[in-house]
Amino acid sequence: MRLTSAIALLLVATASFSAVLPEDRADILYHSYDGDNVTIQGPSLLIRKKFAENFSASANYYVDSVSSASIDVVTTASPYTEERTQYSVGMDFLHDRWILNLGLSNSEENDFTANTLSIGISQDFFGDLTTVSLGYSLGDDEVRRRGDANFGDTIQRQNYRLGISQIVTRNLLLGFSVETVTDEGFLNNPYRSVRYVDPGSAIGFSYEPEIYPRTRTSQAAAFRWRYHLPYRAALHGEYRRYGDTWDISADTFEIGYSHPIGSSWILEGKVRSYSQSRADFFSDLFPRAQYQNFLARDKELSSFSSQTLHLGVSYNIARSGWWIFERGSVNFSYDYIEFDYEDFRDLRQPAAIAGDEPLFNFGADVLQFFISFWF
């Protein structure tokens, strides 16, 4: 695997066509998520600037301010608030018609630290009709547990990425990407529990801590397309297939439409459909305590589907330039996401017999407001 990747990298590096660095731009975004009694909001600032002709540097500051009373929290723990802060820096280097990029990222929470190093290379071929990119990331995470100074563990993550984008006709653009991710370490959520049938309990069940395998490897492949309609508008779509060693498989479909109005406005609409099968060690209710080696009742590992409706609008500002900026845009988007679980039950609505509770579902509202400037 690594040898093949190295050969592919070498070939990419020795082929010859042109490439361009990303545009200089600055983005200021405010994001808000509200669903299942969880609110997450905060800013994201991204700036990118070229220098010394063939370098481009980027920096991102991102915050999640979380206030959670989700179903997992209210049934087995206490509501909490916390903040996650992420700093990322990156550098792109254009040399002899290929682009090499390097990125570093640090994410901090009071119970989780994630550090990631990414490298990548991309190259245009066939008179710039085809772009091939390869990437690798190495992550080193530290997992802690609030209120338990004796607990501490680590996760090592590795990502391998290949992407191809292809201009097919003057109206059609195709993209294909594959990514393999391997994780090794403490992959549980350290706060969550599973439930099992307990005849000695008044409610018919009791809880015990989750136990996950310490390794997980996943493969994902995605195919996407964008088509420029005879008038100035674009149709776009995507399909992604996913599978992993925990026996989760998933399919994602997206289709969208982008419609400019004049030279100032762009309206966008998109629908997305996602469905997954459960991990082989997931159960909403195990028959007894310590029923098997690995135990999970994390709803993200259950069988469920989600449907998204996305609406967005962009308005171009400062079209003839302002101060040091060439142009800008003001953007707003709203997503409604509906999650429907097929084997995760809502324990806030008790049943006479454990396991007969209604299935859980919830809707989430996601808002984004951002201003972008090019300079």
Partner 1 sequence: MQRTIFLLGIALLLSACSVEPWVKPYERDRIADPIMSFDRNPVSSSYTHHVYEAREGARGATGSAGGGCGCN
112 interacts with partner 1 by CB under 8 A: yes
Q: How far apart are CA 135 and CA 59, in angstroms?
A: 19
Question: In whole angstroms, how far apart are CA 83 and each of 41, 71, 80, 118, 252?
Answer: 10, 20, 10, 24, 30
Phi, psi of 222 (to 5 degrees): -130, 145
Output 297 or 354, the one with its CB closest to partner 1.
297
Site size toward partner 1, by CB under 8 A: 105
- Cβ-contact 42, 60 below 8 angstroms: no
Segment interacting with partner 1 (CB under 8 A) among 186-194, 204-212, 317-325, 352-360: 186-194
Minimal distance, residue 62 CB to partner 1, in Å: 8
Site residues (CB under 8 A) for partner 1, limited to 152-171? 157, 159-165, 167-171
Strand partners, 92: 56, 101
Within the chain, how many helices (H) and strands (E) appear? 2, 18
328 interacts with partner 1 by CB under 8 A: no
Minimal distance, residue 226 CB to partner 1, in Å: 5
Q: How far apart are CA 189 and CA 72, in angstroms?
A: 11
Q: How many CB atoms lie within 10 A of CB 10?
A: 11
Output 30 or 322, the one with its CB closest to partner 1.
30
49 interacts with partner 1 by CB under 8 A: no
Output 299 or 354, the one with its CB closest to partner 1.
299
Minimal distance, residue 368 CB to partner 1, in Å: 6
99 interacts with partner 1 by CB under 8 A: no
Q: How far apart are CA 91 and CA 119, in angstroms?
A: 10
Site residues (CB under 8 A) for partner 1, limited to 232-291? 232-234, 240, 242, 244, 246, 248, 250, 252, 258, 260, 266, 274, 276, 279
Among the listed residues 33, 196, 281, 360, the single contact to partner 1 using CB under 8 A: 33
Output 195 or 314, the one with its CB closest to partner 1.
314
Q: Name the strand (E) or helix (H) holding 242.
A: strand 234-244
Minimal distance, residue 350 CB to partner 1, in Å: 25
292: tokens are 């098997």
122 interacts with partner 1 by CB under 8 A: no
User: What contacts 338, CB < 8 A, 6 or more positions away?
Assistant: 306, 307, 308, 361, 362, 363, 364
319 interacts with partner 1 by CB under 8 A: no
181 interacts with partner 1 by CB under 8 A: yes
Please write down the HEC assignment for all residues of 310-369. EEEEEEEECCCCECCECEEEEEEEEEEEEEEEEEEECCCCCCCCCCCCCEEEEEEEEEEE
296 interacts with partner 1 by CB under 8 A: no
Output 173 or 289, the one with its CB closest to partner 1.
173
Among the listed residues 8, 59, 197, 289, the single contact to partner 1 using CB under 8 A: 8
